[in-house]
């Protein structure tokens, strides 16, 4: 059993399908591990013992009846608590949604269930996905399994920490400006943000609708590919989902990188990073170069404006999306209100945390009459310039490499100001602004044994290029096989 707990999701699904172990046995083992270890990490905000056990029994019954159990047959997965789940509380780690029981599954969740996945529960995050460290959860702190005195990253901190601590085989997060890739870097796992529209956003509690995207966090490229094959595809419930065929992503992991052109942008170089991060990323690129990839320098001149553009556009969309939490339709409602306006003020004042309020106010300001052209419109124009930079760069290279984050995971409270915290996403934001697929994979550790992430970006709908790189890299290195000592 211990071997299967540390096995890949692909191996677990095969073992269950071949009756080497039952889905119920594997589910029980993970639930026991969560009960034993998660108090140290705080990755789970909600464990669904009853639902997970029932789903595992259904998988076992299908196998016993000779039926196809699905590609994720019995694999224990966990979900960021931003993904709507039928009959299971979904709170976005916010007081304002505490206790909300959705009446439906989001599309990605429904596709997981149909594929035979066993959903163990919901994972911690920064409130409404607004944060880079998981310090803004209203429920409880989340720690980094590599060092419990460090943050796991954000906003999908729980999703990355759960995989790193092996509390689930694979997880789902969301990425609005780096919220899959940056915590993947901090926790030493692989995180992949698909092309905008690859995965339906139906059933994702919205932060910034033109930027949000669901993606997997896993230990191996093959596991991330398996999850993508399940959750990708056109969805009539989401007008922004793309009508594009879903490739055999797992097959891409077996490809080599000979002739693949890798670009290194001066504007996203290691010069902006901690020296140990820069050295590990450079060494990671050299591994791919020795495998046959061609490396060249490129320029993305408008990338330097990604940070200010993002922090105008995303808060502007958030101010609109979060207007629905008013104490009338759903979510918490403050008591003892004097009138309607007082109810609005009390409900939103008590229900939202400081970072969410900050972004709502910033976004509302940017959209005000008289300020719209000076701020929001200009940010949209910069976004178009950033996308054009990438378009031109991808005529010369197939993927672009950079550090995922400028540093390794830091201690809670180490970022003294919001601007210091926002800088943690300096390398990841442009990917979302341009709608590109992006991936972070572990490429080494610093002197304190903290993971370092290598980011790769590709043109729209070219996730296969990222998975080729990841597959090749993981065959040539063993960084992804390392486990935090306390969670072996």
Q: Which of 132, 133, 155, 407 is catalytic?
A: 155
How many Cα atoms are found within 13 Å in the side-chain-facing hemisphere of 365? 9
Helix axes 306-321, 378-393, angle to 10 degrees: 120
Q: Which of 22, 24, 80, 91 is catalytic?
A: 80
Is there a catalytic annotation at residue 133?
no
Q: Which of 179, 273, 430, 465 is catalytic?
A: 179
Neighbours of 208 (CB within 10 A): 23
User: What are 236's two structure tokens?
Assistant: 């009539």
Alpha carbon distance 175, 154 (integer Å): 9
Phi then psi for residue 214, to 5 deg, are -85, 145
Nearest CA to 6 out of 485, 486, 450, 483 is that of 483
SS3 365: helix
Neighbours of 435 (CB within 10 A): 18
Is there a catalytic annotation at residue 140?
no
Strands 261-265 and 399-403: parallel
Is there a catalytic annotation at residue 179?
yes
Phi then psi for residue 170, to 5 deg, are -160, 155
Phi then psi for residue 169, to 5 deg, are -75, -30
CA 349 to chain centre: 28
Residues serving a catalytic function are 80, 155, 179
């Amino acid at each position: 059993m211990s071997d299967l707990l540390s096995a890949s999701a692909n191996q677990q699904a095969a073992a269950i399908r071949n009756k080497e172990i039952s889905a119920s046995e594997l589910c029980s083992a993970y639930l026991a591990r969560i009960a034993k270890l998660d108090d140290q990490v705080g990755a789970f905000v909600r464990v669904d013992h009853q639902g997970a056990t029932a789903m595992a029994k259904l998988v076992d019954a299908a196998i016993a009846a000779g039926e196809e159990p699905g590609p994720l047959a019995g694999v224990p997965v966990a979900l960021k608590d931003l993904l709507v789940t039928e009959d299971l509380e979904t709170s976005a780690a916010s007081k304002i949604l505490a206790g909300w029981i959705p009446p439906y599954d989001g599309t990605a969740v429904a596709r997981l269930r149909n594929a035979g996945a066993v959903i163990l529960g919901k994972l911690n995050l920064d409130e409404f996905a607004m944060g880079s460290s998981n310090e803004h959860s209203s429920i409880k702190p989340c720690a980094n399994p590599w060092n419990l005195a460090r943050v796991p990253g954000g906003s999908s901190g729980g999703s990355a920490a759960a995989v790193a601590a092996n509390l689930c085989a694979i997880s789902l997060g969301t990425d609005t400006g780096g919220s899959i890739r940056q915590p993947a870097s901090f926790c030493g796992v692989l995180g992949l943000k698909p092309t905008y529209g690859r995965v339906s956003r139906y059933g994702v509690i919205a932060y910034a609708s033109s930027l949000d995207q669901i993606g997997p966090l896993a230990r191996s490229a093959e596991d991330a590919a398996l999850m993508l094959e399940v959750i990708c595809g056109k969805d009539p419930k989401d007008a922004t989902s793309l009508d594009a065929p879903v490739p055999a992503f797992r097959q891409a992991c077996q490809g080599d990188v000979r002739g693949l052109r890798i670009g290194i942008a001066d504007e996203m170089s290691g010069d902006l990073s901690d020296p140990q991060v820069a050295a590990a990323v450079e060494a990671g690129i050299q591994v791919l170069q020795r495998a046959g990839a061609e490396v060249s320098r490129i320029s993305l001149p408008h990338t330097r404006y990604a940070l200010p553009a993002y922090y105008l556009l995303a808060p502007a969309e958030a101010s609109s999306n979060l207007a629905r939490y008013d104490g009338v339709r759903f979510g918490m409602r403050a008591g003892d209100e004097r009138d309607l306006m007082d109810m609005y003020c009390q409900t939103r004042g008590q229900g939202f945390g400081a970072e969410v309020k900050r972004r709502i106010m910033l976004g509302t300001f940017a959209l005000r009459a008289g300020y719209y052209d000076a701020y929001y419109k200009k940010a949209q124009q910069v976004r178009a310039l950033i996308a054009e930079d990438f378009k031109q760069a991808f005529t010369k290279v197939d993927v672009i490499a950079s550090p995922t984050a400028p540093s390794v995971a830091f201690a809670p409270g180490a970022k003294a100001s919001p601007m210091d915290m926002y800088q943690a996403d300096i390398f990841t934001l442009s990917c979302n602004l341009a709608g590109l697929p992006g991936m972070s994979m572990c490429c080494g550790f610093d002197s304190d044994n903290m993971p370092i992430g290598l980011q790769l970006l590709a043109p729209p709908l070219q996730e296969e290029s990222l998975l080729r790189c990841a597959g090749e890299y993981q065959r040539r290195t063993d960084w992804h096989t390392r486990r935090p000592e306390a969670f072996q």
